Amino acid sequence: MECCRRVHISYLVSGGPLGCALYVPGDAGWTSFVTALHYYAARVSGVPVWCVQLLWKENPWDEAQLPKNVYIQCVKCNKIPEIHEDSASDDNRCCNCWEDCQDADLWEQNRSDTLSREDNCEECTPCFLCDLCRVRLLGDRSRCLQCFVEVVGLEDDHAYQARVDDALASLQPAQRIRWRCVQF
């Protein structure tokens, strides 16, 4: 059964829509739906979920006061905020952006098409890495976004920036945005 409530998300600065109007599924709990809205806004914006803030006119936790058409504004930042120690130590968090992801060790044990730590990143071999922080390279190699642009000895800022520009050109748009977010 479909709920009669629709949610419209727009960017705070431009006012432009962030995708289409979303109908609240009748079988989903409201808390789960609000959490999914954050992930949806983050994926559409290309930033980690920690970099998205949804601004509500009404209290989102009091469903009785929400109108049939809910309008939310989305604010994104391009830097991951400081994450509380209790949240950062949770299992199944990407080592680059702290989003939920799969455990490569468990995946390798339970699947025939394995995803190993080396498949995540050949350099740092992390156990937890999300799909947008994993970069597939030529020759079936991969790197995480933090290891993507190697630091080469002592080089000046211009040489490094030229290498970064070349490397970023090969990424998907969402990965380019995310690369800037995870460089801390």
pLDDT above 70 (res 112): no
Query: Sign of the CA dihedral 160, 163, 167, 173?
Result: positive
Higher-pLDDT residue of 174, 19: 174
Cα–Cα–Cα angle for 11, 84, 45, nearest 5°? 20
Helix (H) or strand (E) holding 111: none
pLDDT above 80 (res 161): yes
- Provide the percentage of residues in the chain whose pLDDT is more than 90: 0
pLDDT level of residue 22 (50, 70, 90 thresholds): confident
Please count the residues of the chain.
184
Name the H helices within the chain. 30-45, 85-88, 104-110, 117-120, 145-148, 157-168, 173-182
Min mean pLDDT across 20-34, 53-67, 129-143, 148-162 is at 20-34
CA atoms within 13 A on the CB side of 20: 3
- For domain 2-76, the question of CATH label 3.10.20.90 is answered with yes
pLDDT in tens, 52-104: 888 988 888 887 788 888 888 888 776 666 655 555 445 678 888 877 777 76
pLDDT above 80 (res 128): yes
pLDDT in tens, 36-64: 888 888 888 878 887 888 898 888 888 77
Q: What is the 3-state secondary structure (H, E, C) of 7-51?
A: EEEEECCCCCECCCCEEEECCCCHHHHHHHHHHHHHHHHCCCHHH
Min mean pLDDT across 40-44, 98-102, 112-116, 158-162 is at 112-116
pLDDT above 50 (res 118): yes
For the chain, domain boundaries: 2-76, 91-182
